[in-house]
Amino acid sequence: MRPNVLTRAIVSATAVAALAAGTLTTAGTGFAASPPAAQQTVGAEAFGTLATNNLGLSTTQAKNIQRWLARSWEYHGSIDGQLGTESWKAMQRWLARYWGYTDPIDGIPGPDTIKALQWYLKTYQGYTGPIDGIAGAGTRAAFARLADALA
């Protein structure tokens, strides 16, 4: 083997090992190791709004929900068919009042929000699945029936 080929192979192997170990101090930022997962996570409070979560509703159905929330549950956002933080806060106020939701009114449709919603859907919208906090197909279908009933 020629000396420069051997040298390149050794340097390449060393660089790969150093990158894998995250210790190559001369690497550019494109090769730098990612920070630990704890540093990558940003809480929802760092942003003004969260991404929307329509739970499978169409824009029209989500607008029906928002109109109802605006009439009765202090929703002051736009009627845009996107169930974002403010829509879910209003939904949580309703769920806290009547359907056993006890977590903070934070606008995040987490498992406890979904469980409370499932209690309502089981009682009035034909949901037959478990009260498990998972917005599966049955929960989404019953939620769509609620949205359609509000039209």
107 and 141 housed in the same domain = yes
Claim to verify: residue 78 and residue 134 sit in the same structural domain: yes
Beta carbons within 8 Å of 40's beta carbon, 6+ residues apart: 34
The residue-averaged pLDDT of 15-29 equals 42
Length, in residues, of the chain: 151
pLDDT at 60: 97
- Is the same domain home to 96 and 137? yes
Q: What pLDDT does 8 receive?
A: 53
Residues 22 and 78 in one domain: no
25 shares a domain with 92:
no
pLDDT in tens, 76-135: 999 999 999 999 999 999 999 999 999 999 999 999 999 999 999 999 999 999 999 999
Q: How many helices (H) and strands (E) does the chain have?
A: 6, 0
Bigger pLDDT: 65 vs 31: 65
95 in the same domain as 32: no
Is there a contact between 55 and 143 (Cβ–Cβ < 8 Å)?
yes
pLDDT for 39 equals 43
**Rounded mean pLDDT of 25-49?**
45
Residues 26 and 97 in one domain: no
Q: Are residues 66 and 14 in the same domain?
A: no
| 64 shares its domain with 137 | yes
Range of the domain at 26: 3-41
Please say if the pLDDT value at position 37 is more than 90.
no
* Residue 131: φ, ψ to 5°: -90, 85
Q: Are 127 and 139 in contact (CB under 8 A)?
A: yes
Task: Name the domain count of the chain.
Answer: 2
Name the band, by pLDDT with cuts 50, 70 and 90, for residue 52.
confident
> CA-to-CA distance for 19 and 12, rounded, in angstroms?
10
Answer yes or no: do 24 and 82 share one domain.
no
Q: What is the pLDDT of residue 4?
A: 54
